[in-house]
Structure 1
Amino acid sequence: MYELTHRQAQNIVDKMMKDIPYNINIMDKAGIIIGSGNKKRIGTLHPGAVAAIKQKKIVEIKKDENFVKKGINLPIELNGFIVGVIGISGEVKETSPFGKLVKSAVILLIEQSVALEKENLEKNLKQKFFNLITESGTAYTKELMDQALTYGIQLNKPCQIVYAEFSTEIAEGTIKNFPFFKTSNHSLCMVIQEPNKVETLQKQIRNNFPDTFISISKINDKISDGFSQTKSAMRVLKGVFFNKKVISYAECEFIAGLSELQRNDAKVEHLAHLLEKNDELIKTLQVYLNCNLNINETASQLIIHRNTLNYRLNRIYKMTGKNPKNILELVELIFMLINRIK
């Protein structure tokens, strides 16, 4: 049975008393005042409410008595149960017309609150399920497989994961026709088990959100493997490339795998910290890599003189101790670019 809280009751009272010129009390299912225009009465027993609960009908009090003020008391019924009572203080003839109006408004607000609680519960269950299936050690039990079916996923069937990071906060209805999970307010993880549907999903996202970063896993038996691959690929995408929006794990598997081994390496973290706030040098390094270390092409892409480019590359060398023109040291700088992305 639903239970009114003090906070809900007081919010309702505050809203209703802006339009109704009488004091309003809301009592719980035991007749205790939990919301009132007169804050001193909160926590006290309301005899009129007790009578309304006991009799299961409207109780009118036509004159003030000890501990009882005249007014009208209406039981709040939800799904066949009395969850509380609304009391409006004042002359019965004057307060009666407001009784049904206030009661209807209160029931509507309660129903909205119940619906919101149900929605939040479902979101929490979905999030717990997602956390389970993205943990590498999770076994696919029958219970988990049955739960997966409610989200349109067959855990005994291979899948691909599409992970997307959006530039703005995303709503629940952002993705249609594909099982999805919110990993943050700006990111989604989608599970694809139908052949040739990855491109369809990718187009759907790109058409509606052109600035979105997308990474795509290989086909795997376990969702956790695919999710891990997309996260690694996303770090490569955002770390190494300056104008690319989509990447598949298959095209960066080697460097993504090596970078994962370097993720907690203190030396790599130190390098990342050295260039952390220097966007100009980071972009210069990214373009240099994407131009296959071609000085002329890199300078052209950056719209700078080649002497300026060489000056920037030397600055990177001085700041990090790693020479971008030395292939072995450049590899360390690549790991730095990737692992600065969290």
Structure 2
Amino acid sequence: MHELTRQQAQNIVDKMMQDIPYNINIMDRTGIIIGSGNKGRVGTLHYGAAEAIKQQKIVEITEDEEFVKKGINLPIELNGTIVGVVGISGEVNETWPFGNLVKTTVILLIEQSIALEKENLKSHLKHEFFNLITHSDTNYTKELADQALIYGIQLTKPSQIIYAEFPGEIAEDFIKNIPSFKSSIHSLYLVVQEADKLEALLERIRRQYPDAYLSVSKWNDTISEGYIQTKAALRVLKGVYFNERTIFYAKCEFFADMSKLLKNDTRAERLAHLLEKNDELTKTLQVYLNCNLNANKSAQLLMIHRNTLHYRLTKIHSITGKDPHNILELVELIFMLIHRI
């Protein structure tokens, strides 16, 4: 049985009493006051409400008595069950119209809360399901396969995962007919099981959200493998590329896999820390890599003189101890960029 909270009841009372010139009380299903214009009465028994609950009907009190004040007390019914009472103090003929107004407001709020609870439960179950299928130790049982069908996923069919990270809040179902699961208010995973839909889907997201980061896995027999691949590829995208927003795991597989192995490597962490607050040198290194170590193109893209580029690369060498012109040491610098994400 759903019940109003004291905060909800008091909010209704405070709001309604801005326009209604009478004291309002809202009681729970036992007759205890949970919201009142007279806050000192909250937590006490309202005898008029108790009588309305007992008789299961509206109770009018025409005269003030020792424990009750004149007014009207209207039971709040939901699905045939009394869940509370609205009481308005004053002359009965004057409080009647306001009683129905407050009662309707309370019922609407309760129904809204119930709908929200159902939606939250549905979202929680969906989140728990996604956590389960993205865990590498999960076995695809028939029961799990049947549950997956509810979300439009065939666990026996290969899939490709897209991880999308948006600059702002995103709705979980903004892409229709594609299973999607929110991982935060601004990111979600999409499960693609039809190859001919991938390009159109990526294009649609890119057109609608040009600043979104997109990471795409390979085709895999398990969703968990694709989930891991998108996370690893995203680290490469954010670490190495300065102006790209989409990456395919298949195009960066070596570095993506190595980044997972080096995730807790203290050497890479120390290197990453050295350039952590120097955005200019970090971007210079990213551009240099993206231009395939072409100094002229790098300087042009950075809009600096070639000598300035040489100075910056030398400074990177000086700070990190790794020479960007040395291929082996450059690989270490690449992992440094990835590790900083």
With structure 1 as the length reference, what TM-score do the two structures score? 0.97
Q: Distance in 1 between matches of 2:159 and 2:60?
A: 65
Residues 288, 295 of structure 1: 8 Å contact kept: yes
Residues 71, 95 of structure 2: 8 Å contact kept: yes
User: 1:69 corresponds to which residue?
Assistant: 69
- Structure 1 residues 1-342: aligned runs within 5 Å: 1-341=1-341
3-state DSSP class of the match of 1:174? coil
The one-letter amino acid of 2:256's match is A
3-state DSSP class of the match of 1:197? helix
Question: 1:141, CA displacement in angstroms?
Answer: 2.5
Q: Distance in 2 between matches of 1:243 and 1:42?
A: 59
Residues 239, 338 of structure 1: 8 Å contact kept: yes
Q: Distance in 2 between matches of 1:173 and 1:141?
A: 27
Residues 162, 198 of structure 1: 8 Å contact kept: no
Q: Distance in 1 between matches of 2:188 and 2:132?
A: 16
Q: Distance in 2 between matches of 1:116 and 1:240?
A: 42
With structure 2 as the length reference, what TM-score do the two structures score? 0.97
3-state DSSP class of the match of 1:183? strand
3-state DSSP class of the match of 1:11? helix
Residues 172, 180 of structure 2: 8 Å contact kept: no
Q: Distance in 2 between matches of 1:257 and 1:316?
A: 25
For these two proteins, the number of residue pairs brought into alignment is: 341
Q: Distance in 2 between matches of 1:61 and 1:128?
A: 52
The one-letter amino acid of 1:129's match is F
Question: 1:217, CA displacement in angstroms?
Answer: 0.4
Question: 1:303, CA displacement in angstroms?
Answer: 1.3
For residues 44-98 of structure 1, what are the alpha-carbon distances to aligned partners after superposition, in whole Å with 9 as ceiling and x for unaligned? Answer: 1111111111111100001111111111000000111110000001111111121
Q: Structure 1: give runs of 5+ residues left out of the alignment.
A: none
3-state DSSP class of the match of 1:112? helix
The one-letter amino acid of 1:336's match is M
The one-letter amino acid of 1:282's match is T
Q: Distance in 2 between matches of 1:302 and 1:40?
A: 68
Question: 1:288, CA displacement in angstroms?
Answer: 0.7
Q: Distance in 2 between matches of 1:315 and 1:241?
A: 20
Q: Percent identity?
A: 71
Q: Distance in 1 between matches of 2:72 and 2:143?
A: 52
The one-letter amino acid of 1:99's match is G
Q: Distance in 2 between matches of 1:245 and 1:13?
A: 50
Q: Distance in 2 between matches of 1:140 and 1:27?
A: 50
3-state DSSP class of the match of 2:162? strand
Residues 238, 338 of structure 2: 8 Å contact kept: yes
For residues 116-157 of structure 1, what are the alpha-carbon distances to aligned partners after superposition, in whole Å with 9 as ceiling and x for unaligned? Answer: 111111111111111111111112233322221111111121
* 4+ residue segments displaced more than 3 Å: none
Q: Distance in 2 between matches of 1:7 and 1:238?
A: 44
3-state DSSP class of the match of 1:172? coil
Question: 1:172, CA displacement in angstroms?
Answer: 3.2
Residues 299, 306 of structure 1: 8 Å contact kept: yes
Residues 33, 46 of structure 2: 8 Å contact kept: yes
The one-letter amino acid of 2:23's match is N
Q: Distance in 1 between matches of 2:204 and 2:278?
A: 34
Q: Structure 2: give runs of 5+ residues left out of the alignment.
A: none
Question: 1:173, CA displacement in angstroms?
Answer: 3.7
1:6/1:170 Cα in 2 relative to 1: closer, same or farther (>3 Å)? same
RMSD over aligned CA atoms reads 1.1
Q: Distance in 2 between matches of 1:16 and 1:113?
A: 19
Residues 33, 43 of structure 1: 8 Å contact kept: yes
Q: Distance in 2 between matches of 1:102 and 1:122?
A: 30
Q: Distance in 2 between matches of 1:262 and 1:97?
A: 70
Question: 1:25, CA displacement in angstroms?
Answer: 0.6
